[in-house]
Amino acid sequence: MKKPKRILLKLSGEALLGEKHFGIDYSILDMICNEIAEVHEMGVEIVLVIGAGNIWRGGENSDSGIDRVASDYIGMLGTVMNSVALQANLEKKHGIQTRVCSALDIPAVAEPYITRRVLRHLDKNRIVICAAGTGNPFFTTDSAAALRALELKCDILMKATNVDGVYDADPEKVSTAQKFETITFNEILEKELRVMDATAIAQCRDHHMPIQVFRLMGKGNLKKAVTGKTIGTKIVP
């Protein structure tokens, strides 16, 4: 695989937890931003989408009395917080111009997400962090990542996780779980593998957007994924 011109990197909010139970582990934030900066220096245009699982998980707060719509909006606000933290680190420690573009209107901390404006930022070699999901409840940040990857004409969607690829069963629970080096979108849906939500998988399948799933933690892993080294699992049409 040749080096892509533009990637969308999907990060989970839980990735920022590190050893914490809530919030951001700043050593992990540094590590993630170091990886991103290294790939940016290679001339790759980068779009980021990050979740909010380190701040809010609606499913785990179902007994709170907060309904699904309100819970989803809380999660969207959490993604804005994580996005601003990433931006601050990339700009202060790496000197990389970064823009947070939000699907919710929060002008004090983020620009509104406008596709043409984001494309101009990318043309100017800025990293763009797309925050607040799609701006709508009932859609995950996986779906937001798929949507943004397609809108912004990315070459590939890269999903960084806490496992080293896609398995036929949960490798933490099943010792005989087998990892796929390559798997099709239809196989993911047929086997009901929990890689991304079905909406995101279907979006990428229907528009031929390849997905690379790989372990986030590990020095140089993002660079390996971008340069086509054998790492993780490739999901293809």
**CATH number, residue 151:** 3.40.1160.10
Within-domain flag for 72: yes
Residues 14 and 55: their CA atoms lie apart, in Å, by 8
Residues 213 and 197: their CA atoms lie apart, in Å, by 14
Helix, strand, coil shares of the chain as percentages rounded to 5? 40, 20, 40
Q: Could you tell me the residue range of the domain that residue 103 belongs to?
A: 6-236
Mean pLDDT across the stretch 174-186? 95
Question: What pLDDT score does 3 carry?
Answer: 87
Angle formed by the axes of helices 26-40 and 68-94, to 10°? 70
The CA radius of gyration of the chain, in Å to the nearest whole number, is 17
Residue pLDDT, tens place only, 208-224: 999 999 998 889 999 99
Model confidence at 186, pLDDT cuts 50, 70, 90, reads: very high
Q: Give the count of alpha carbons within 13 A of 227, CB side only.
A: 11
How many structural domains is the chain composed of? 1
Residues 205 and 199: their CA atoms lie apart, in Å, by 10
Within-domain flag for 38: yes
Q: Give the count of alpha carbons within 13 A of 105, CB side only.
A: 0
Strands (E) in 83-177, as ranges, are: 98-102, 111-112, 127-131, 156-161, 166-167
Within-domain flag for 136: yes
Question: What pLDDT score does 1 carry?
Answer: 62
Residues 111 and 30: their CA atoms lie apart, in Å, by 24
* Predicted TM-score (pTM) of this structure: 0.95
Residues 168 and 192: their CA atoms lie apart, in Å, by 9
Residues 195 and 159: their CA atoms lie apart, in Å, by 9
Question: What pLDDT score does 168 carry?
Answer: 94
Within-domain flag for 1: no
Mean pLDDT across the stretch 38-56? 97
Mean pLDDT across the stretch 64-85? 94
- Given the DSSP bridges, would you call strands 211-215 and 233-236 parallel, antiparallel or unpaired? antiparallel
Strands (E) in the chain, as ranges, are: 6-11, 45-50, 98-102, 111-112, 127-131, 156-161, 166-167, 179-180, 182-184, 211-215, 233-236
Model confidence at 62, pLDDT cuts 50, 70, 90, reads: low
Question: What pLDDT score does 58 carry?
Answer: 73
For the ranges 66-70, 79-83, 133-137, the lowest mean pLDDT is seen at: 66-70
Within-domain flag for 209: yes
